């Protein structure tokens, strides 16, 4: 089975094609193609409330390219999902309508809860019976999910993201709301809390810390890496730390969000599974297609 996932975020747009290798009990998603394009829709939307004409032009070209790749790879199923920037833009729904008419592609504008639900599909296999606070920091929003004894008991999306914080479009009230939510829902009886971090910025911090996949990194180490990055200019981050230009400017505000939430939750370490929304979309498509095949059989 070949599947394609498209994650239309606030800072970048990600496209992936994977083939599913199902050798029970192991399920492997083997990556065939991955493209990350730096189209920062959040810059337009969080500043003016609309996606600009220039961004619309680029966006349509990108969707055309991705639709061609979907056809060329002859995928069995695919899904285009748009998050914070698209759902808050005045003209996002109209753009979705235009893309549907011109390309025959349906883009799903998903809310924060649906976004969290899809990402949770990807991280679930990394969790045990412990207490976890999952922190997913995007360009426009942060999703928090609380797991106790292997079950998700609380979830909430906040309008705080790396692009929003970078461009000072975040609200102090929302920060207070997030702090209150974390402190209200994490009880002492839950025991030690381990954070779980998803998003490109925490993955980059994890990489710079030279950690092995599947290991945890301490909150202090995250702070140390943040401080090290902050000591470099934007140009040095690109050339010496080999960051994409659209990662180099948002990684500091993003790290602030992870560190702050960890402090509120009294989480001294963070697990970084290096999966995200696109991986959750893949899981959803696989489960949908397998269940349909069983019914047909």
The CATH number that applies at residue 57 is 3.30.420.40
**Alpha helices (runs of H) in the chain, residue ranges in sequence order:** 41-48, 53-72, 84-88, 92-103, 112-123, 162-166, 172-185, 200-208, 219-230, 234-239, 245-248, 251-265, 277-296
Q: Report if residue 117 sits inside a domain.
A: no
Residue 102 shares a structural domain with residue 48:
yes
What local confidence, expressed as pLDDT, does residue 199 receive? 92
pTM: predicted TM-score of the whole model, two decimal places: 0.91
Residue 31 shares a structural domain with residue 46:
yes
Q: Report if residue 260 sits inside a domain.
A: yes
Q: Low-confidence residues of the chain, pLDDT below 70?
A: 213, 293-297
Q: Report if residue 192 sits inside a domain.
A: yes
What local confidence, expressed as pLDDT, does residue 297 receive? 43
What is the span of the domain harbouring residue 288? 2-112+278-294
Residue 98 shares a structural domain with residue 177:
no
Q: Report if residue 137 sits inside a domain.
A: yes
Residues whose CB is less than 8 angstroms from the CB of residue 282 and which lie 6 or more positions away in sequence, other chains included: 3, 5, 16, 18, 20, 29, 122
Residue 215 shares a structural domain with residue 88:
no
DSSP secondary structure code for residue 276 in this structure? -
Q: Report if residue 120 sits inside a domain.
A: no
What local confidence, expressed as pLDDT, does residue 74 receive? 97
3-state DSSP assignment of residue 40: coil
What local confidence, expressed as pLDDT, does residue 137 receive? 95
Max CA distance (Å), the chain? 60
Residue 254 shares a structural domain with residue 168:
yes
Instruction: Look up the CATH number of the domain holding residue 170.
Output: 3.30.420.150
Residue 148 shares a structural domain with residue 251:
yes
Relative orientation angle of helices 41-48 and 53-72, to the nearest 10 degrees: 150
């Amino acid at each position: 089975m070949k599947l394609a996932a498209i994650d239309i975020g606030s800072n970048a747009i990600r496209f992936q094609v994977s083939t599913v290798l199902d050798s029970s009990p192991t399920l492997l998603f083997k990556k065939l193609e991955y493209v990350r394009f730096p189209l920062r829709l959040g810059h337009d939307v969080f500043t003016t409330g609309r996606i600009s004409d220039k961004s619309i032009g680029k966006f349509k070209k990108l969707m055309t390219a991705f639709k061609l790749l979907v056809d060329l790879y002859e995928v069995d199923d695919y899904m285009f999902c748009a998050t914070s920037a698209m759902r808050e833009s005045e003209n996002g729904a109209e753009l979705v309508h235009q893309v549907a008419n011109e390309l025959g592609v349906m883009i799903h504008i998903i809310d924060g809860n649906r976004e969290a639900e899809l990402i949770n599909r990807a991280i679930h296999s990394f969790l045990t019976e412990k207490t976890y606070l999952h922190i997913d920091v995007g360009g426009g929003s942060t999703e928090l999910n609380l797991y106790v004894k292997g079950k998700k008991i609380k979830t909430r999306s906040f309008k705080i993201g790396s692009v929003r914080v970078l461009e000072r479009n975040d609200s102090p009230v929302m920060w207070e709301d997030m702090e209150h939510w974390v402190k209200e829902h994490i009880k002492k009886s839950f025991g030690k809390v381990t954070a779980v971090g998803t998003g490109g910025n925490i993955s980059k911090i994890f990489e710079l810390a030279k950690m092995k996949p599947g290991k945890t990194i301490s909150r202090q180490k995250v702070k140390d890496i943040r401080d090290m990055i902050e000591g470099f200019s934007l140009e040095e981050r690109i050339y010496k730390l080999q960051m994409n230009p659209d990662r180099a400017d948002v990684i500091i505000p993003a790290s602030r969000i992870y560190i702050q939430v960890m402090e509120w939750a009294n989480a001294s370490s963070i697990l970084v599974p290096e999966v995200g929304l696109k991986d959750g979309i893949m899981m959803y498509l696989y489960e949908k297609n397998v269940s349909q095949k069983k019914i047909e059989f």
